[in-house]
Amino acid sequence: MHAAEQYIESLYLADEVLERVKIGIREANMPEISIAFGYGRLLTLLVKTAGARRILEIGALGGYSGICLARGLPADGRLISLEINPDFAAVAARHLRMAGLDGIAEVRVGDATESMRRLEEEGARFDFVFIDADKGGYPAYLEAALRLTVPGALIVADNALLKGKTFNPEADGPSVRAMRAFNEAVASDPRLESVILPAYDGLAIARVKT
């Protein structure tokens, strides 16, 4: 973490629920790659200010970002979080329950592309999509998100920088190429207006044009 990020984080009281989630993730031997503290706060703020009511999350991991998203929802809102790893999904569901958000949040186990296709067939539509899953899948997740969202919806994605690999000309590989393609699509797709924040590991925020 950069000194600037550390300084900003030091201004805030520790979030007891999210601290417990991080411990739970460590104890479950899961990768400790939850969204950064500041971006978690930003997710809650974005959901609230956008007045989002139906959120789709791609990649639940241990439920950290799911909690941040669901916290922004009204009591009758809904979060569907997709997770391919059933063990991770169980941890995420436990953490959402611990946070008192299990009434509005649901973790679905399965391949995200398949789950999104099914949601599309069911006619489900979302006003907020958060992408934080396998990086190779990002370009396809963006296309699927565009099919699943209403005009004015927000599509937010973590890890735009891939620890600096996306802008390092020497870095290569399927994940790097996919993330570069994703970032370029976010920046130039005529269906979107967007910004990509370069703090932490980079966060893309796009709005589906009306």
Give the residues lining the site for Mg ion (CB under 5 A): 132, 158-159
94: nearest Cα among 17, 4, 185: 17
| Nearest distance from C-beta of residue 133 to Mg ion, angstroms | 8
Is the Cβ of residue 163 or residue 209 nearer to Mg ion in the bound state? 163
Is the Cβ of residue 1 or residue 150 nearer to Mg ion in the bound state? 1
Q: Please give the C-alpha separations between residue 78 and each of 81, 107, 134, in angstroms, as whole numbers.
A: 10, 11, 23
Is the Cβ of residue 127 or residue 132 nearer to Mg ion in the bound state? 132
| Nearest distance from C-beta of residue 113 to Mg ion, angstroms | 18
| Nearest distance from C-beta of residue 106 to Mg ion, angstroms | 20
Is the Cβ of residue 144 or residue 157 nearer to Mg ion in the bound state? 157
Which residue is closest to Mg ion by CB? 158
| Nearest distance from C-beta of residue 25 to Mg ion, angstroms | 13
Contacts of 108 (CB under 8 A, 6+ apart): 80, 81, 82, 83, 89, 115
Give the count of beta carbons closer than 10 Å to the beta carbon of residue 98: 15
The Cα 206–Cα 27 span in angstroms is 34
